[in-house]
Structure 1
Amino acid sequence: MDQTSKVPREDIRNITLMFSGKLFSLLGASMYTFICGLYILKLTGSGSQFAITLICGMLPRIILGPVAGVLADRLNRRRLIIGSDLASVAVMLLGFFAVAVNGPSVPWIYATLILLSVCSSFYSITISSSLLMLVEERSIQKAGSMNQMATSIGNILGPVCGGFLFAFVSLDTFMLMNTAGLFISSCMGYALRFRSGSQAGGASAQPTDDARPSGSLASQLVGSLAGGFGYVRKHGFLWSLLLICFWVNFFASAIGVTLPYIMVHSLGMESREYGVVDASFAAGMLVMAAILSVRKNTANPLSPLLRGLILLSVLIAAMSLPYLPYFGKSLAYFYYIGLMMLIGVVIIYINIPLQVLFQTTIAPEYRGRVFGIIETMAGAIAPLGTILYGVLLDWIPAYYLPAVSGISLLAVTLIGSRSLRLEYNTSRGKLATGALKPAAGSSIQPGGSV
């Protein structure tokens, strides 16, 4: 494979359409969640009601991730992408008519948030598990980076644009605006061209355990989920990557809990200063995704992944340094801006190799289910980690938590790196002898070292 060859024109076209469609879809969903939270506060003045809006946006993605992955493997992916966006359009139109007739009401806002989150879950997992059906293997890093850029831009601009629109437009007017954006996203999905003769139109080949489905739809879904989980458990390297996702999301949750506590409560900074620091994290993610989108593929994605985990461990532990005597409030403020930007950079430095490794080592007929399992595990462990760290803040001095989290992640990385390298080399060896069938478009080549 010639890593220096140019990205094919067809790949550029698909990457552009995927990026634009996902940006419209995620930006609309992010703005809608933010605006709904503000409307809930305006209508009820209740903090608990506001918290429910966040749960309505998160919980469906956690619960339905595996189901979305099963359907992505069993159905035509192109149609699933278009159908998810059109279903979101229908949800927004339904919400518009309800609000236009009866005015904004809490039950309708909750209902539209839940339904939009369901549609978004199916859309996101199907897109993420279809990258190697949209581009050639040499373009996978660029596609993964642009996929991550769309997510980062949506997360950055969502609250900003949502806050601006909340001041000038009514909820039903915004619903119509969001409907237009989601319809544009569905048009982008319609224009995507899926690769591979055996998977024309984006439908993946059916795995052996699904070749002759029998029984009720529920039993078929359960069987497919079990097959996907069993597939991961049988491949030690994939299982190790899945555990990495678990631990990274768990220890990274320390950032979201301890940083605002340290800055606002312990160091006495203003909430707007924390807002700037939080934005620097998103800016770092966006910058690194942009850099990786124009770089050629890494020959061995495992090496930057392990380096990134070690760097992230050090940076998380470094969150405790402003407690040292020579740190004043002003120095700590600028220190956290730089630190969070670096953490955002390293998060993407970790995420892109992870995406490449998953895309190129998972058999096409299992990609949807594995990505569904990843999204559910990552989505579930972050709230659990947040709750745990929140409880620990009431019992342990805040400056201990980042240091302990960073050291723990470093220990997990160093302990697991040897077995991960061995499993990676074993998978390469099996490919060399023909004992293991690579994923379609896989970049894993026999020979060489990690």
Structure 2
Amino acid sequence: MSASYSDLLKNRNYRLLFSGQLLSQLGDAIYEVGIVWLVYRMTGSPAAIGMLVLCQTVPFLVLGLIAGAFADRWNRRLTMIVTDALRGAAMLYLVLRYLAGGLTLWEVCLVAVVLTSARAFFHPSLRAVLPQIVRREELLLANSLSESAKRICKVGGMLLGGVLMAAEQVEWMLWINCISFFLSLWTVWQIALKRAERAEHAERSERSDQTIFADLLMAGKEIRKERAVTFSILLSSLGLVASAGMIKVGLPLLAGERLGGEGDTYGLLMACFSVGMFASAALMKKLARLHILTMVGIGWSVYGIMFGLLALSPQLLIACLAVGIIGCAHFLTDIPVTTIIQQKMPLGRMSSCQSIWATASFGSESIGVAIAGPVLASLSVTACFALGGGAMVALGLLPLIILRKSGQNKLDRRTCAE
């Protein structure tokens, strides 16, 4: 039976999960923009903003791996409910302190630590719950629809956050994010997973005497046993090293130095990137027939070709089109990896495996950004886009060459739709 978006939205559990995360993403996006401006208004210090960003990042570096292992031991649905409650309570504290007056930087940073720490437990639980809600052949479309819709909510939320801060409606920015967590909690509460939860309880009881690190080692072994999963994670991690820095550091330079624009030009390019990610959802149903590694390889190849086009310093319209296609290709390099983990990893270690992928992805992006700065300082922005594009095309062709030589996908004979 073929999967479709309409069938997905008829699934009550998926519809609840989808709507709850949509609201939560909208609230997060409004908050993401607003809290930075609030800190700047409170302190007038760029160093304070740096401290806020640090508090939003470090907890994931510390908890990213072990959070998934804990989520595998706990009731995942309950984990999602508790973490949403913690995030909602932290935001409620923040908004009440703001309304009372006297809100301090350390309180904002403490809330940032709580939000990021809770998210480290929430997201691997969310990705592990999805295979219990939809059929195997629906996973690719479910991930694609959820992530693309959340991307559009993020763009809209950032715009709304900017409007609210310009209108000095800080309390509305805080209230919206606070309420979105409690709405997400309510939707997760309504999801019915009783049969699956009983099976998970039995699995958790069997390994209650193991350490968390032993669980992570076992999850790593599960990943290594599935060569398609291992190769997909490795391929996408290397691609992120080559691409992340150019998107986050190189694109603003391209907008200013080569396209002759300002912040508005960069904002337009990033909007095109997000629209491209949203548009990729329309392609997923057809692309689901491809082998998983073929899809990832095509994604990185297209990514690299568009980087090459940007290296030619095109007109703004062409640059917008290229960045939009890059956004579309980005989904082909990310969503299939999440999906193949959901399809192939055992349910009892699903959260740990998703955390390993998330940590690899986050680490690769960080390395890419760290490398991009010195490289862009030494070479022209067009040369950097050309080099990065060449590396990604080569990376994308690698799995396609392997599959062609073997005559079939020996790493994974199934497609995402099977």
How high is the TM-score relative to the length of structure 1?
Answer: 0.84
The AA in structure 2 aligned to 1:379 is F
Letter in 2 for 1:287: A
Q: CA deviation at 1:43?
A: 1.8
Matched, 1:248 2:239: yes
Q: Which residue of 1 aligns with 2:223?
A: 232
Distance in 2, matches of 1:121 and 1:16, equals 23
Alignment partner of 2:379: what SS?
coil
Q: Distance in 1 between matches of 2:136 and 2:361?
A: 26
What's the counterpart of residue 381 of structure 1? Answer: 364
User: Matched residue pairs, number?
Assistant: 416
Change (3 A) 1:201 1:316: farther
Instruction: Look up the match of 1:29.
Output: 28
Q: Which residue identity does 2:197 align to in structure 1?
A: A
Is the contact between residue 300 and residue 395 of structure 2 (CA under 8 Å) also seen in structure 1?
Answer: no
Per-residue deviation, 1:89: 1.1
Give the 5 Å matches for 1:131-146: 131-146=130-145
Runs (5+) with no aligned partner, structure 1: 432-441, 446-450
* Match of residue 439 from structure 1: none
Query: How much identity, in percent, do the aligned residues show?
Result: 22
| Structure 2 equivalent of residue 83 of structure 1 | 82
1:192 alignment counterpart: 191
Q: Any idea what SS the aligned residue of 1:130 has?
A: helix
Query: Could you list the per-position Cα deviations for residues 26-53 of structure 1 after superposition, in whole angstroms to 9, with x for gaps in the alignment?
Result: 2222221211100111122222322332
Query: Which position in structure 2 is the counterpart of 1:414?
Result: 397
1:113 Cα deviation from its structure 2 partner: 1.5
Task: Report 1:256-335 matches (<5 A).
Answer: 256-289=248-281, 291-292=282-283, 297-298=288-289, 300-322=291-313, 332-335=315-318
Q: Which ranges in structure 2 are unaligned for 5 or more consecutive residues?
A: none
Report matched runs for 1:1-150 at 5 Å.
2-3=1-2, 12-150=11-149
The CA deviation string for residues 177-202 of structure 1, in whole angstroms up to 9 with x for no partner, is 3222211111111112237x4x2368
1:213 CA drift (Å): 3.3
Name the structure with the higher helix share.
Answer: 2
Range moving further from structure 2, 160-169 or 363-372? 160-169
CA contact (8 A) 2:164 2:172 kept: no
Aligned partner of 2:373 in structure 1 is 390
User: Structure 2 CA distance, aligned partners of 1:74 and 1:361?
Assistant: 19
Answer whether contact 1:280 1:340 (CA < 8 A) is retained.
yes
CA distance in 2, matches of 1:50, 1:119: 21
Match of 1:364 among 331, 343, 347: 347
Provide the alpha-carbon RMSD of the alignment. 2.9
Q: Matches of 1:28 and 1:5 in 2, distance apart? A: 28
Letter in 1 for 2:203: Q
- In structure 1, the residue matched to 2:212 is 221
Pick one of 336, 340, 347 that aligns with 2:323: 340
Q: In the alignment, residue 96 of structure 2 is paired with which amino acid?
A: F
Question: 1:343-397, CA deviations, whole angstroms, 9 ceiling, x for partnerless residues?
Answer: 1111123333333322212121221111101111111221221121111111112
Question: Aligned partner of 2:361: which letter?
Answer: A
Q: 1:76 to 1:116 in 2, by over 3 A?
A: same
What secondary structure does 1:103 align onto?
coil
Aligned pair in 2 of structure 1 residues 379, 96: CA closer, same or farther (>3 Å)? same
* Cα displacement (A) at 1:7: 6.3
Question: Are 2:298 and 2:396, in contact at CA under 8 Å, matched by a contact in 1?
Answer: no
Q: Does 1:206 align with 2:197?
A: no
Compute the TM-score of the two structures, normalised by the length of structure 2.
0.90
**In the alignment, which residue of structure 2 is the partner of 1:434?**
none
Aligned in 2, Cα 1:88/1:201: closer, same or farther, shift over 3 Å?
A: farther
Give the whole-Å Cα distance in 2 for the aligned partners of 1:340 and 1:10: 30
